Every structure is written in structure tokens, then in C-alpha cells.
């Protein structure tokens, strides 16, 4: 029961740390902007797009350029760029699959939003959609296979003109690319100030891969900033969140992939937004606003990482062994294990990787890690079993004390404590081994749920193709879900888990527990309850738990045999009572 309470408490704590979005407040509610570095725009500032442009927004010079796309291929990426705004419309990771296809990192809703678009306006106008992103067709200049430049001329309200340039540079083997934004007035413009800003660069509306919902456990989107230490920003679906603290970088992360932005301008403003987007289950946007610039020429460089949230890959941007020679960025922080169980999780991950190097199958590696854990836990398991046996021997006396002082609980507790002290028995010694195993379970859960290398790792072809996802022996067609349960497939591992748990409970049950209603609840109801709780967990976790049950069962058989031998030895060593021979008495003569 204690184990169940701790596990349910774990999920409850997750719901507190990552709560669902709050309902939208009534329209008449007033809002006053705070003075803190991170502020949220009031709901009333979010307006529908307007057809007319703000007076200070420049217009594209009359120029006929046909719409076209440009494809950039590297060994790890396939990127499709459009000259309509000079934006990225597709960003696929060749070495990572999603339903058999390369992972698509850019998803647009029905609005057709594209990634890395530019708006000549300030943050508030962009977020309120009073100024729309530039979607005019740019001129295309293919500098090399990995460098593409887009440019377009614009007219100022004052009659002057300037050129907006967007230059993308990719590198072999890199998930990071460099984006250079340039504004060149050619001496006809002495500043770039469009309602207080030079431009706003936006990634919208969602990073990949695709998903049906964000349950904050098996898939999520989190917003992070880094300035000496990593900070998780709380963004809801009611209003955008503006960050004015000038962090070194900002990120939108999912379970396995991330977008990281490294702006290099001296001053800028960041914003995150999760406002709903038509055609998407959820939206995650990032905005960077460059302040007004008092010169006729402006050039800003940005680096964007759009790829796997893999610690080994991200660490290259600390060591300098990357195509852009970046050093000490600390990007790997978003992939680090967090929490008080982090050290234990790192040890288990280290073991998993060692076994994988020996046998390159993560399913086998999980089984070997489980074996090591059970061997290390064997002394505690043995001690718990001996404690249970000791409790059986003391049970008659305990029941006698409980019956004698049933009307006086204080006296009963005092007598029980005295009895335990006299017998040298600790009543917690039986459950202590179980409590110690709980942190191991949670560390394994986090490891199997978040370790990037397990994504797409096959164990048994045709049955368990991905240890980071639930397996299935039959998927319901056309997105059908079982009523009430919400199941989308029939899975085999949860049924095997229930069988192993029931068998384990039956073997470990002692004779005096067979008539105990509480023990019957633990034996039959608990595994069934966990069957529903664990139905959609990663298959790697269920493999661990099933193997743990099987190995513990084998351990218990060995321990029971040892205990029976010990009891037999103790029984022979006990002094046997001396019985006097039955000598017939002689009858007295009368």
C-alpha cells in the first residue's frame, strides 16, 4: 500500500509541476503589466489580423519574382526553403524516423505559418497580429550547396528604400544552422525603426515530431531559457510570455527533440506563445525582436539548433568540435537528468550503455541491467523474507497481546513495543527492502521514458520495434478508441506483467496471509489496478518490471529453500524434552 501511495503521489506531483492550462479569464477582467523581467501580454491585446498595415511599416518594392523552393541536403538533414518570405517550410532529420519516415521538425496549422519568418515591427504588434510576417517573394541566390541567400527591396514611409537579406548556412553532420539577417539602406535610410523595433524573427507554430496530445509525461512541450543556469518558463494558452532578461539562449523542447535559439544581438526581447492554432493539437512559438537600430546598415547572426535532444550531440557545442566552432554554450543542459534521483539514473544509464556495447540490443541490455539490480538487491530481499518468517513465529503472541488489550490501545502499543524489544525484532524490517526499491523503479521509469537512445530501439522485430513507446499486437483501425478506456491498440506486455505479478504474489504469500482480506486485495486487485495505469507506458519499462518479477520469483524460491533448511537445522538443534520410561508399579500385598 505504501508503494502504491508513493507512485500515485509521484504522478500527482507531476500534475502540480506541469498543470494543465487554466481556463481563459472573463473578458471584463482587467490586467496591469508588472515590472518583472518576464511579463505576459493582457488578453485584450490579442486581436484578429487587420487588412491594413501600420503606417510605419514599409512596403515591398514593386518587383516580379516567381515563387520557388530551394532544397538543401546534408548527411543528416533535408531542408526545404521557400522564397515566399525566405522561410523554412520543411526540416527533416534523416537519421531519426517517425512512423517510418524522417522526423519532420516543422508543423504548420491551417494558417500556413512558416518557420523563421520576419516581420518589420515590434513584439507587441506581432503578437497581437496587427502586423503580419513578410510573405513577398524574395530573390534567390544559391551561393553553394549549403548556403542560400534571399533578398527583397522595401520602401520606407519617408520614401527611402532598403534591402532585407536572409542568409542560411548549413554544415555537414550538423543539426545547427546559421541565419544572418541583414538590413541595408544604402545611405538612403539612416535608421531602422518600425514602431520601436527593427524586426521580429519568429519560429511558429510547432516543432515536431507529430503527436495527438501533450500529456506532459509521454510527450510534452516545455519552454526554457539559460543564463548561468537553466530555467523553465511557464507558458499557458491564454497569453504570450515576454522574456526581457536577455538569456544566453532559449529553447522549446519536446521529449526527444528541441529547438534552441542563440541570438547574438546586444539587446533583444524574447517571447514564447502557446496560443491555440487551427489545425494543430497544440502550438509552440518563439519570437525574437531586434530593437530599433540607428544606422543605415544592420547585420545580425543567429544560430538555431533543431534536432535530437541528445546529450552527446549537444555537448559538441561546448568542446568546439562542431562546424561553427561554438564553445561553452551549455546546450547539453536541456538533456541533463534533473531531480534528486539524477545520480541513480545516471548509474543505470551507464550500465545500460555498457551492456549495449557488449550486445547491441537495448532490450537485452535492459534485461541484463535488471539482473544486476536484482543481484544487488538480493541481500535486502533475503532479509525481508527472513523478517516475514520471523513475524510468522511471533504472530500468536502478537494476537494474544492484541486480544488482551483491545480496549486499551495505549497499553496495547506499549506492550507490543516491549515485546518487540524483548524479541529483538524491528516491525519495519520487512517493508524496508521494498521502500528502498521504489527509488530504483522511478529512476528506471525516467530512464526508459526519456533516454534518447531508446527512441526507435528495436527489441523483437514485428512486436517491440520501439522500446520508448508502447508495443502492440493489434492496432485498431481508423483511429478507433475503446470507450472509457481510450485504448488504441491491444498490447501484450501489460497482460504478461499482470501474470508475472499474480504469480509472484502467490509464491511469496505466507500461510497465515491466505485468509487475510487485505493481503488478497494486494495479491489480486493491485496488479489489476497497475495493469490499467501501465497500459500505455514505454515497453522498455514493462520489460524491466516483468523481468524483475521473474528474477525476484526465482530469488524467492531459493530463499524459501534456504529458510526451510534453516528451520530444519534449528529444529534439530532444539533440546528435546526427556520423557521418563513408563515402569509398571508393583501391587502392594494386602
Q: Per-domain residue ranges for the chain?
A: 66-335, 342-384+428-570
Contact 470, 489 (CB under 8 A): yes
* DSSP annotation of 314: H
Q: What is the pTM (predicted TM-score) of this model?
A: 0.76
Distances 446 to 60, 299, 466 between C-alpha atoms, Å: 51, 43, 16
Q: What is the pLDDT of residue 435?
A: 75
For residue 154, count CB atoms less than 10 angstroms from its CB and return exposed for 0-12, middle for 13-18, buried for 19 or more.
buried
* Separation of alpha carbons 376 and 381, rounded Å: 10
Q: What is the pLDDT of residue 35?
A: 32
* Separation of alpha carbons 207 and 452, rounded Å: 17
Q: What is the pLDDT of residue 226?
A: 93
Q: What is the pLDDT of residue 588?
A: 62
Q: CA geometry: angle at 397 spanning 392 and 400, to 5°?
A: 125
Q: Which of 325, 334, 271 is nearest to 301 (CA)?
A: 325
Q: Virtual CA dihedral for 487, 488, 492, 495, nearest 10 degrees? A: 0
* Separation of alpha carbons 214 and 220, rounded Å: 5
* Residue spans of beta strands (DSSP E) within 33-86: 38-40, 59-60, 69-73, 77-82
Secondary structure element (H or E) that encloses residue 12, with its range: helix 2-17
Q: What is the pLDDT of residue 487?
A: 87
Residues 249-277: pLDDT tens digits?
Answer: 999 999 899 999 998 766 788 999 998 88
Q: What is the pLDDT of residue 541?
A: 85
* Separation of alpha carbons 112 and 558, rounded Å: 64
End-to-end C-alpha distance for the chain, whole angstroms: 77
CATH number for the domain formed by residue range(s) 66-335: 2.70.98.90
Secondary structure element (H or E) that encloses residue 435, with its range: helix 432-450
Please state at what angle helix 539-573 crosses helix 362-404, rounded to 10 degrees: 50
Q: What residues contact residue 113 under an 8 Å CB cut-off, 6+ apart?
A: 133, 204, 205, 277
Residues 325-348: pLDDT tens digits?
Answer: 999 999 999 988 777 788 888 888
Q: What is the pLDDT of residue 62?
A: 63
Q: CA geometry: angle at 344 spanning 340 and 345, to 5°?
A: 95
* Separation of alpha carbons 492 and 495, rounded Å: 5
Which stretches of the chain score pLDDT less than 50? 18, 20-55
Amino acid at each position: 500500500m505504501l508503494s502504491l501511495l508513493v507512485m500515485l503521489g509521484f504522478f500527482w506531483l507531476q500534475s502540480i509541476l506541469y498543470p494543465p492550462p487554466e481556463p481563459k479569464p472573463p473578458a471584463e477582467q482587467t490586467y496591469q503589466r508588472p515590472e518583472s523581467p518576464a511579463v505576459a501580454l493582457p488578453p485584450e491585446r490579442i486581436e484578429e489580423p487587420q487588412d491594413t498595415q501600420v503606417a510605419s511599416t514599409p512596403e515591398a518594392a514593386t518587383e516580379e519574382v516567381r515563387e520557388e523552393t530551394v532544397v538543401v541536403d546534408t548527411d543528416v538533414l533535408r531542408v526545404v526553403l521557400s522564397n515566399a518570405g525566405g522561410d523554412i517550410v520543411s526540416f527533416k532529420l534523416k537519421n531519426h524516423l517517425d512512423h517510418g519516415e524522417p522526423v519532420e521538425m516543422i508543423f504548420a496549422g491551417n494558417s500556413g505559418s512558416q518557420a523563421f519568418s520576419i516581420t518589420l515591427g515590434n513584439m507587441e504588434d506581432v503578437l497581437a497580429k496587427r502586423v503580419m510576417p513578410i510573405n513577398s517573394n524574395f530573390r534567390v541566390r544559391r551561393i553553394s550547396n549549403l548556403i542560400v541567400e534571399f533578398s527583397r527591396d522595401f520602401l520606407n514611409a519617408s520614401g527611402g528604400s532598403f534591402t532585407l537579406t536572409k542568409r542560411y548556412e548549413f554544415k555537414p553532420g550538423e543539426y545547427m544552422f546559421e541565419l544572418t539577417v541583414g538590413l541595408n539602406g544604402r545611405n538612403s535610410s539612416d535608421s531602422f525603426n518600425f514602431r520601436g523595433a527593427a524586426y521580429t524573427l519568429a519560429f511558429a507554430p510547432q516543432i515536431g515530431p507529430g503527436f495527438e496530445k501533450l500529456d506532459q509525461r509521454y510527450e510534452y512541450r516545455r519552454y526554457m531559457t539559460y543564463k548561468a543556469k537553466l530555467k523553465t518558463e511557464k507558458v499557458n494558452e491564454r497569453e504570450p510570455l515576454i522574456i526581457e532578461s536577455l538569456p544566453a539562449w532559449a529553447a522549446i523542447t519536446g521529449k526527444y527533440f528541441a529547438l534552441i535559439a542563440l541570438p547574438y544581438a546586444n539587446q533583444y526581447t524574447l517571447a514564447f506563445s502557446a496560443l491555440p492554432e487551427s489545425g494543430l493539437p497544440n502550438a509552440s512559438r518563439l519570437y525574437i525582436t531586434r530593437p530599433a537600430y540607428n544606422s543605415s546598415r544592420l547585420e545580425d547572426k543567429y544560430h538555431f539548433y533543431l534536432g535530437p535532444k541528445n546529450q552527446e550531440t549537444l555537448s559538441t557545442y561546448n568542446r568546439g568540435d562542431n562546424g561553427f566552432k561554438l564553445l561553452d554554450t551549455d546546450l547539453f543542459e536541456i538533456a541533463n537528468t534533473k531531480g534528486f534521483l539524477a545520480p541513480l539514473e545516471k548509474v543505470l544509464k551507464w550500465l545500460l550503455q555498457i551492456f549495449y556495447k557488449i550486445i547491441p540490443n537495448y532490450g537485452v541490455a535492459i534485461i541484463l541491467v535488471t539482473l544486476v539490480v536484482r543481484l544487488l538487491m538480493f541481500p535486502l530481499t533475503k532479509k525481508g523474507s527472513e523478517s516475514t518468517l520471523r513475524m510468522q513465529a511471533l504472530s500468536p503472541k502478537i494476537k494474544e497481546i492484541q486480544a488482551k488489550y483491545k480496549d486499551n490501545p495505549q497499553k496495547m502499543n506499549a506492550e507490543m513495543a516491549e515485546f518487540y524489544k524483548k524479541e529483538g525484532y524491528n516491525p519495519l524490517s520487512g517493508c524496508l527492502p521494498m521502500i528502498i526499491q521504489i527509488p530504483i523503479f522511478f529512476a528506471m521509469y525516467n530512464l526508459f521514458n526519456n533516454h534518447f537512445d531508446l527512441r526507435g530501439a528495436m527489441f523483437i522485430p514485428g512486436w517491440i520495434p520501439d522500446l520508448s513507446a508502447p508495443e502492440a499486437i493489434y492496432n485498431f483501425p481508423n483511429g478507433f478508441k475503446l470507450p472509457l478506456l481510450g485504448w488504441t491498440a491491444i498490447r501484450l506486455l501489460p497482460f504478461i506483467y499482470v501474470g508475472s505479478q499474480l504469480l509472484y504474489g502467490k509464491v511469496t504469500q505466507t500461510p497465515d496471509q491466505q485468509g487475510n482480506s487485505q493481503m488478497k486485495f494486494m495479491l489480486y486487485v493491485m496488479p489489476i489496478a497497475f495493469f490499467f495505469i501501465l497500459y500505455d507506458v514505454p515497453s522498455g519499462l514493462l520489460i524491466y518490471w516483468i523481468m524483475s518479477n521473474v528474477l525476484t520469483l526465482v530469488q524467492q524460491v531459493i530463499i524459501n529453500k534456504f529458510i526451510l533448511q534453516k528451520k530444519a537445522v534449528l529444529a534439530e538443534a532444539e533440546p528435546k524434552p526427556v520423557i521418563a520410561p513408563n515402569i509398571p508399579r508393583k501391587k502392594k500385598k494386602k
